[in-house]
Amino acid sequence: MPRIPTAAAGPPASLADVTASDGALRRFLHGLPGVDPVGLEARAAALGTRSIKTTAKAYALDLAVSMIDLTTLEGADTPGKVRSLCAKARTPDPTDRTTPQVAAVCVYPDLAATAAGALAGSGVQVASVATAFPSGRAALEVKLADTRAALAAGADEIDMVIDRGAFLAGRYLEVYEQIRAVREAAGTARLKVIFETGELSTYDNIRRASWLGMLAGADFIKTSTGKVGVNATPANTLVLLEAVRDYRAATGVQVGVKPAGGIRTAKDAVKFLVLVNETAGDDWLDNRWFRFGASSLLNDLLMQRQKLRTGRYSGPDYVTVD
Amino acid sequence: MTKLFEYAPAPESRSVVDIAPSYGLFIDGEFTEAADGRVFKSVAPATEEVLSEVARAGEADVDRAVAAARRAFGPWSALPGAERGKYLFRIARIIQERSRELAVLETLDNGKPIRETRDADLPLVAAHFFYYAGWADKLGYAGFGADPKPLGVAGQVIPWNFPLLMLAWKIAPALACGNTVVLKPAETTPLSALFFADICRQAGLPAGVVNILPGYGDAGAALVAHPDVDKVAFTGSTAVGKEIARAVAGTDKRLTLELGGKGANIVFDDAPVDQAVEGIVGGIFFNQGQVCCAGSRLLVQESVADEVLESLKRRLGTLRLGDPLDKNTDIGAVNSPEQLARITELAEAGEAEGAERWTAPCELPTSGYWFAPTLFTGVTQAHRVAREEIFGPVLSVLTFRTPAEAVAKANNTPYGLSAGVWTEKGSRILAVADRLRAGVVWANTFNKFDPASPFGGYKESGFGREGGRHGLEAYLR
C-alpha cells in the first residue's frame, strides 16, 4: 500500500494561507459549496435501500465488527466494567473464533490505564476521550492536561471534542488553534475530532467543521459524543464522507470518519458501510479509516453473524453481556 | 480491479406476479379477442424473453370499445361524485395492496429497475388515484363553475416509459369528473394496463367505464379519429402529437397533448455541488433517460464546469447497470430495439459533430437492449444532441457565463417541458424560474412529482395540464 501522508503536519502547503487569520479562515469555510438538506437526506435515504445479501452481508458484518470502537462512557464506569468490555473486544464471540476483534475500546481517561492493561498485546487499540468530554467547556490548559493524562495512561487514540460555543459564535480560528494544540499534545496518537453535529445543527456547519478539523490535523473526524439528542445519522455521516473524499482530492491527505451514537443494529451499520462504499470508496473500507462509536451494536452484529453461519436466529442469551 | 465491497445479487422474486400466456382486449368489462384475431408479443427488454401474447386492437375493436364507453357514460356520469370517488378510492387501495406484484410486472415489461417501480412508479400511481378520488365530490369548488359537467368518452393514448403511471394520469381525473375512457397502452408495454383492467373488475367498476385496447399506432389513430370520442388525451412524441392535432382539427373534440422535451438543468457557481450532481444524475438517468421531462441538457456555469464534471463522472462510475429486478440496480434496460437504435444514432451524430463523448465504465449484458450512461462535453446549441430529444441515458453538457445567457440557452429550444435551477441563492431561483419558458421548473431538485402539482408543456412540448386542480379542467366543460 502506498504511503499515505498523515494529517499530523497541519494544513498542506496548498491550503496554508487559509488558516493565516480569522478572516481568511472564515472566508474559506464560508466559501465551501453549500449543502442542500433535502437533497442530502434523499441521497442518504436512497443508499439506505441497497439490499445487502449473502456474501456481501458476510463481508459487511465482519468489516463492521472490525471497525467498532467499543465504548463505555458513563459516570458509573468501574475498572471491572472496563475489563469485561476489553475481554469482549479481544474475543467478541467465544463460540466462533473466526470473529474479528474490534478496533478499539473507548473509555474516559481515568480508565485508560485499566483498558491498556487488559488489552496489552491484543492489537486492540485504547481510545480515550479527552478535552473535557463531552461538553468541551474547560480552559485549554485543562483540556491539554486531560489529553496528556490519557496518553500517559496508555491511550493510543484520543477522541477530542471541539468548542461548539466558539464555533457557533464564529470564532473559527480559536477552534482551529485549540485542535492544533491538542494535536501537538497528542503526538503520534491518532486524533479523532468530535464535532457534536447535533449541536452544530446545520449541514453547512457540519461541512465547515469537517474542513476545519481536517485542516487542523485530525486523523479522524467524528460526528458525535453520543450524549445529545441527535447523534450519528446517515445524512450527517454522508457530509463527513464527502468532506474526506474532497479533502484527499484537494490535498492528497486521507482522513478517517467515525459516526458515533445511535447506531445499534447490524442493519444500520451495513447502511453506513454502503455510504462509505459509494461515497468515499474502497480506500475507506478499513478500520484505519472508518470506525463506529458504539456499544450495543456489537451484539447485534454477532447475532446476525451467527444467523448467517447457522441459518437460524439464536437469542440475546447466546451473545455475551458485557 | 475488483471492488472490496461487492454487492451480491439481490433479485426481487418473479413469482409474485403471474403473467398469463395470453391476454385479450378489455371491452365493456370483459376480456375479448380482437375482431380480426390479430395478436402481438410483449417482450422483456432486459432479456428479450417473450412475456405474453396480447390481442392487437384494430378499427372494429375501437368501435366496440367506444360504443361500450358511450353506453356506460350516462349512468356513470349520473352517479353522485361521492360514489365515483368511492370506486377511485377502492382502485387506489387495491393498487397499494398489489403494488409489489405490479412493480415486478412493470419492471419485467418495461425494463426499468425495480428500485424505481417500487419507490417511484407505484407509490405515485396510487397517490394519483387517491388524489383525484378526493376531487370527485368537490368539482363545484374546483374553479370551473358551480356545476361543471363531464365531456363524455375520452380516448387516451399513453407511452411506454411509465406505463402504469401515465395510465393513472389519464384515467384518474377522467373518471373523477364523470367521463368514461378508452385507453390504448403502448405496444411494447401493454401488460400493466391489462392488470389494471383486472383491478377495475376487482373494484366492481361498472362495465364499460374503463376500456383497454392494447395495440399499435393504427389503433391509436383510429381511437383519436373516432367520431364518438369527445376528448383526446395523448402523451408521447411531438411528431405523433402533431398528427393527432391535425386529425382532431376542425372537430369539436377537446385535446390535451403532453409531448417531448429537452429540459435544461442549470447549475450556477454557488450551487450545492454534491446535491446538484445527484440531481443531474437523477435528471437524466432516471428511467434510463426515457422521461419526457428529463434534464437532458446540463447548463453549467463555466467557472465551476471542471469541478462539476469531475464530480459527475466520479458519480457515474458508481451507477449499477444490469438486471432490472435486482434491488441494487440503478440503470435498467432500454425499452425496445427501436429506441436503442434511435439513442445509438443520435449519440453517433453527437460524436460526428465533434462533441466529446464519455461513457461510464460498465459492462453491458449480452442479451437485451442496453445503453451505457453517456455524456457529451463541448456541446453547443448547434449540435443535434443539444436540440433533439434523445430519450435515453445521454446527457449533453453546455456551459454559460451569466444568468442571462443561461436563460437564453435554456429557452432556445422548440420544447418547454421542464427545467432545473441549482443555486443556494433564493433570489436567483425566483428570478431565473420566472424567465424560463418551461411547464415545470425545479429548484435544487429534479424529477419530483406529486399528484397535486400540475404538469405540462410550453411550445412543442404540448398543451393542457395534468395533475392538480388544473388537471380537472381537461375533463370538464
- Taking an 8 Å cut-off on Cβ atoms, the answer to whether B327 and A51 are in contact is yes
Among A1-10, A218-227, B39-48, B288-297, whose mean pLDDT is lowest?
A: A1-10
Gap from A238 CA to chain B (nearest CA, Å): 10
Mean of pLDDT values over B331-357: 97
CA distances from B412 to A191, B233, B263, B387, B389 (A): 54, 27, 11, 9, 14
Chain A and chain B share a number of CB contacts under 8 A equal to: 75
One-letter amino acid for residue A50 of the chain: R
The pLDDT of residue B3 is 86
Share of chain A above pLDDT 70, in %: 97
pLDDT class for A9, splitting at 50, 70, 90? low
**Does the pLDDT value for residue A76 go beyond 80?**
yes
Provide the β-strand partners of residue B180: B153
Q: Are strands B50-55 and B39-43 parallel, antiparallel or unpaired?
A: antiparallel
What pLDDT sits at residue B222? 98
* A183 domain-assigned: yes
The answer to whether residue A319 sits within a structural domain is: no
Q: Tell me if ipTM is over 0.90.
A: yes
Residue written as cell 465551476? B304
DSSP-derived 3-state class of residue B359:
strand
Q: What is the pLDDT of residues B3-42, one digit of tens each?
A: 899 999 999 999 999 999 999 999 999 999 999 999 999 9
Q: How far apart are CA A294 and CA A68, in angstroms?
A: 7
3-class secondary structure, A108:
coil
CB contact under 8 A, A39 and B275: yes
pLDDT tens string A165-207: 999 999 999 999 999 999 999 999 999 999 999 999 999 999 9
* A39 interaction partners in chain B (CB closer than 8 Å): 272, 274-275, 278-279, 444-445
User: Would you please indicate which residues of B are annotated as catalytic (active-site) residues?
Assistant: 258, 292
> Whole domain around residue A142: which residue ranges?
37-310
Q: What angle do CA B122, B187, B366 make, to 5 degrees?
A: 80
Chain centroid to Cα B216, Å, comes to 18
B178 φψ region: left (φ > 0), alpha (ψ -120 to 50), beta (else) = left
Residue A141 lies in a domain: yes
* 3-state class (DSSP) for residue B321: strand
Using a CB-CB cut-off of 8 Å, the residues of chain A touching B10 are: 51-53
- State how far the alpha carbon of B315 is from the alpha carbons of B309, B320, B361, B367, B439, in Å: 10, 11, 11, 26, 29
Give the list of residues 6+ apart from residue B151 with CB closer than 8 angstroms, or none. Answer: B177, B179, B230, B231, B254, B475, B476, B477
Q: Report the residue from A49, A52, A242 with minimal CB separation from B119.
A: A49
Examine the residue annotation and report whether A258 is marked as an active-site residue of this protein.
yes
- Residue A3 reports pLDDT greater than 60: no
**Stretch B55-64: mean pLDDT:** 98
CA distance A210 to A218: 9
- Under a CB-based contact definition with an 8 Å cutoff, are residues B443 and B429 in contact? yes
Q: What is the pTM of this model?
A: 0.96
Residue A14 CA: distances (Å) to CA of A11, A17, A254, B140: 8, 8, 15, 67
- The pLDDT > 90 percentage for chain A reads 91
Contact across the interface for B275 and A60, Cβ inside 8 Å: no
In order of start, what are the domains of chain B with their CATH numbers?
A: 14-259+460-473 (3.40.605.10), 264-450 (3.40.309.10)
CB-count exposure of residue A206 (10 Å: 0-12, 13-18, 19+):
buried
Mean pLDDT of chain A: 95
Å from B75 to nearest chain A CA? Answer: 46
Average pLDDT over residues B329-345: 98
At residue A6, does pLDDT exceed 70?
A: no
Tell me the shortest Cα–Cα distance from A282 to chain B, in angstroms: 6
Distance between CA atoms of B420 and B292, rounded to whole angstroms? 14
Residues from chain B that touch A54, judged by Cβ atoms under 8 A, are: 8
Residue A282 in any domain: the answer is yes
pLDDT at A135: 97
Cα–Cα distance measured from residue A273 to residue A282, given in angstroms and rounded to the nearest whole number: 10
Residue B71 to residues A71, A204, B75, B299, Cα–Cα distance (Å): 73, 61, 8, 52
Residue with the three cell numbers 457529451: B376
Q: How high is the pLDDT of residue A13?
A: 82
- With CA atoms as reference, report the closest residue to A202 among A2, A48, A32, A28: A32
Residue pLDDT, tens place only, B171-189: 999 999 999 999 999 999 9
Catalytic member of A204, A258, A271, A300:
A258
Within an 8 Å CB–CB cutoff, is residue A31 touching chain B? no
Please indicate, yes or no, if residue A180 is contained in any of the structural domains: yes
Please name which of B325, B346, B339 lies closest in space to residue B370, comparing C-alpha atoms: B339
Nearest CA-CA distance, residue A156 and chain B, Å? 27
Which region, left, alpha or beta, applies to residue A218 given φ > 0 means left and ψ of -120 to 50 means alpha?
A: beta
Residue B120 DSSP code: I
> What strand order describes the sheet that includes B440-443?
B356-359, B374-377, B394-400, B297-301, B264-267, B418-422, B440-443
| Confidence grade of residue A12 (pLDDT, cut at 50, 70, 90) | confident
Mean pLDDT of B440-466: 97
Return residues 54-113 of A near B (CB < 8 Å): 54-57, 59-60, 63
Q: How many other C-beta atoms can be found within 10 angstroms of the C-beta atom of residue A130?
A: 29
The conformational region for residue B301 under phi > 0 = left, psi -120 to 50 = alpha, else beta, is beta
Give the pLDDT of residue A14: 83
Q: What is the pLDDT of residue A2?
A: 40
pLDDT at A7: 57
Name residue B98's amino acid.
R
Q: Tell me the CA distances in angstroms from A139 to A131, A136, A142, A183, one per residue in order.
A: 9, 9, 5, 16
Domains held by chain A: number: 1
Is the Cβ pair B327, A42 closer than 8 Å?
A: no
In single-letter form, the type of residue at position A131 comes to T
Task: Using alpha carbons, list the distances in angstroms from residue A225 to A73, A116, A238.
Answer: 9, 22, 17
Contact B274 A63 (CB under 8 A): no
Q: Is residue A64 part of a domain?
A: yes
8 A C-beta contact, residue B311 and residue B358 = no
Residue pair B5/A285 in contact (Cβ under 8 Å)? The answer is yes
Chain B positions in Cβ-Cβ contact with residue A44 (cut-off 8 Å): none
pLDDT for B1 equals 53
Q: Residue A182 maps to which CATH number?
A: 3.20.20.70
A10 within domain boundaries: no
- Rounded Cα–Cα distance for residues B300 and B310 (Å): 12
Interface test with B, best of A51, A238, A289 (most B CBs within 10 A): A51
pLDDT at B228 over 80: yes
A29 Cβ neighbours under 8 A, 6+ residues apart: A172, A208, A211, A212
A188 and B CB contact within 8 Å: no
Instruction: Judge whether A118 and A87 are in contact, CB under 8 Å.
Output: yes
Q: What are phi and psi of B317, to 5 degrees?
A: -65, -20
Is A302 contained in some domain? Answer: yes
- What residues are paired with A157 via a beta bridge? A127, A190
> Which residues, in sequence order, are bridge partners of residue B395?
B375
Per-residue pLDDT of A250-299, as tens digits, reads 999 999 999 999 999 999 999 999 999 999 999 999 999 999 999 999 99
Q: How far is CA A316 from CA A72, A296, B393, in A?
A: 20, 11, 49
Rounded CA-CA distance A267/A79 in Å is 32
Residue A1 has pLDDT above 50, yes or no: no
